[in-house]
Amino acid sequence: MASQPAAAVRVAFVSPAPASQTKLPQPQNNGVLFAEDFDKRASAADLRARYFEYDDARGGFVWEAGAGIGGQGGAMRCTFDRGQVTAGNLKVVFGRNPFGKGIHQKETFREIYWRVYVKHEAGWQGNPAKLARATTMAGRDWSQGLIAHVWGGKGDVLCIDPATGITDSRKVTTRYNDFAHLRWLGVQHGRTPIFSPGESGRWVCVESHVRVNTPGVKDGVFELFIDGQREARRTDLDWHGAWDEYGINAVFLENYWNSGSVKRQSRWFDAFVVSARPVGPLVAKLPVRLTRTAVSGLTAWEAQAAADPAGRAIVWSSPLIGGERVSIIIGRLTPGGTYWLRLRQRDSSGGWSQWTPWHAPFRLPG
């Protein structure tokens, strides 16, 4: 039986392509509404000018140079102190909305995707509850139609928890987070324990998809994808009944820990995109190079790449690796294709771990 080292190796990141292609969708994704790679220095004033709202939590949620995926560009760093509940947020508003602000104000969006990469520092502990949400801002009083919550589920996973402020095709909410009038439509939990210590120290691709129901039909959609694999899905939602005054018009990135952080610790956000079409993972730099997470007691490791998230089509296997990174031989990889990676590690006693789940998807330039 294979031994299991105390710490789990993962792909920390795949080196992203140069700035013109890096963390954001390729040009053919013409559905992009908003894209932020955080590569340019961003002061609090810059962020407040670009976003509908930015709360820096008194310096707890700030832009950090050199913190982006692969050390390329910057990222937003959120630091929770021990016991801290609120640690900042970014809010994007788009489409028709009651505030008359944001981008694409003349358009109504009934379907969106949003993607963000998130990394929790090595040794991260606890589930920080709130990560992101899409919503329909339905009044200047901040009342809401649908709310597509992506937040902490059971244990160390994410979940989708849809709610609506529309009852019998009538808006009943009168303020933001009007819990007295919201209807909760049924939670579904993911599978990947992104908040566990074993998954910490790596960049995770989190993508969500929301589609408003056809007026009068329970066919609304809410989906969650972790590292390019669908982990939760609802296709039977009555988001708005026949109410259609506004579509989806906001996405928020959030740092709110209901019970407070168990210790001082940080996480980072990068490659944030809101789109009318699927976004997918980042584009890799050529030659493709992956870097593993730092693991003590590891003497060697191996990697494999597959053309599907279930690993049915393995297209590359590495030799035995002693360092922290390896280049992938791409002769069997297709330009424009998407690939997933998995690793296993050998400890000081010579025992091999099980292979990790398939994770860290990347695309080749097309």
Residue ranges of domains in the chain: 18-275, 289-363
Q: What is the CATH number of domain 289-363?
A: 2.60.40.10
Q: Which amino acid is at 54?
A: Y
Q: Are 175 and 142 in contact (CB under 8 A)?
A: yes
Q: Domain 18-275 - what CATH class?
A: mainly beta
Helical (H) or strand (E) element with 77: strand 75-80
Output DSSP code: residue 96. Answer: S
What is the torsional sign of CA 148, 151, 157, 163? negative
Along the 366 residues of the chain, how does pLDDT read in single tens digits?
A: 344 434 689 999 999 987 544 566 665 567 999 999 999 899 999 999 999 999 999 999 999 999 999 988 999 999 999 999 999 999 999 999 999 999 999 999 999 999 999 999 999 999 999 999 999 999 999 999 999 999 999 999 999 999 999 999 999 999 999 999 999 999 999 999 999 999 999 999 999 999 999 999 999 999 999 999 999 999 999 999 999 999 999 999 999 999 999 999 999 999 999 999 999 999 999 999 999 999 888 899 999 999 999 999 999 999 999 999 999 987 778 999 999 999 999 988 899 999 999 999 999 987
Rounded to an integer, what distance in angstroms lies between the CA atom of residue 166 and that of residue 169? Answer: 6
- In whole angstroms, give the CA distance from residue 320 to residue 34: 42
Strand, helix or coil at 197? Answer: helix
Determine if the peptide bond prior to 287 is cis (ω within 30°). yes
